[in-house]
Structure 1
């Protein structure tokens, strides 16, 4: 199948990665969660955080994040998406994020998201996101 035949899938996958970021930046944990499959995973252990699996753990983390952060932004770009079949894909994208925590800490991270995507009844979702640093992250004081 050619890339042109996947244009809609690529747009939908790119959109869910942007919904993830928008949910974080609007302090809307449910919108952030909407990007993930029910059994989805978010793993930032490589940058000193932890791994969360399933909607319950993910929502708990996203709610704690929304409560702990004063201001933040995420820029997600440079998507490369490869399809294994009609319902499974992998991809990478870059994220640049800065935050001001309510505790006074300043956070900065430039990272690579390595994702697995799955097509569900609700559309494409992130099945797993593994975050690795591209530059030395400044995470001291991140308390979510």
Structure 2
């Protein structure tokens, strides 16, 4: 059955809100140029209260705002530069939940040495009373260039 005009508009709005949420996530954890600093205070605006953040390659498994904020605070202290560039989004919305896969190119500068992480994200989002939030983030690292 074809979607109604209202359903089609809602889907487009949902897709755009999720793209904006993903961009805001990247902006909040970027740092190192033009005085840019990480903004870990944004975690509650980006993640659901029971969100998970995983990086299996580095054996990182975080649950909830506090652990996610503490992780980014530690990353901020140990790196002078981060830039997240998300591409090739494939987003599927299903009512109040959504799934997406994003490709990530992320230059970073730990210990004064510039490297680039190549990875993808498996994301799950949930619609809350405050808008879309990240429910689950899984960072699948493929390679670090420049190590």
Misfit runs of 4+, over 3 Å:
1-5
Specify whether residues 139 and 57 from structure 1 end up closer, same or farther in structure 2 by C-alpha distance, changes over 3 A only.
farther
1:106 to 105, 110, 114: 114
Cα RMSD of the aligned pairs, angstroms, is 2.0
| Corresponding residue for residue 101 of structure 2 | 92
Counterparts of residues 63-82 of structure 1 (less than 5 Å): 63-82=73-92
**Matched position secondary structure for 1:104:** coil
Matched residues, number: 136
Specify whether residues 33 and 21 from structure 1 end up closer, same or farther in structure 2 by C-alpha distance, changes over 3 A only.
farther
Cα distance in 1 for residues equivalent to 2:46 and 2:119: 19
| Corresponding residue for residue 137 of structure 1 | 144
Counterparts of residues 1-144 of structure 1 (less than 5 Å): 1=3, 3-25=8-30, 26-46=37-57, 48-84=58-94, 86-101=95-110, 103-133=111-141, 135-137=142-144
Larger CA Rg, structure 1 vs 2 = 2
- Alignment gaps of 5+ in structure 2: 31-36
Deviation, structure 1 residue 35: 1.4
Q: Would the aligned equivalents of 1:21 and 1:32 in 2 still touch at CA under 8 Å?
A: no
Specify whether residues 87 and 99 from structure 1 end up closer, same or farther in structure 2 by C-alpha distance, changes over 3 A only.
same
- TM-score normalised by L of structure 2: 0.83
- Alignment gaps of 5+ in structure 1: none
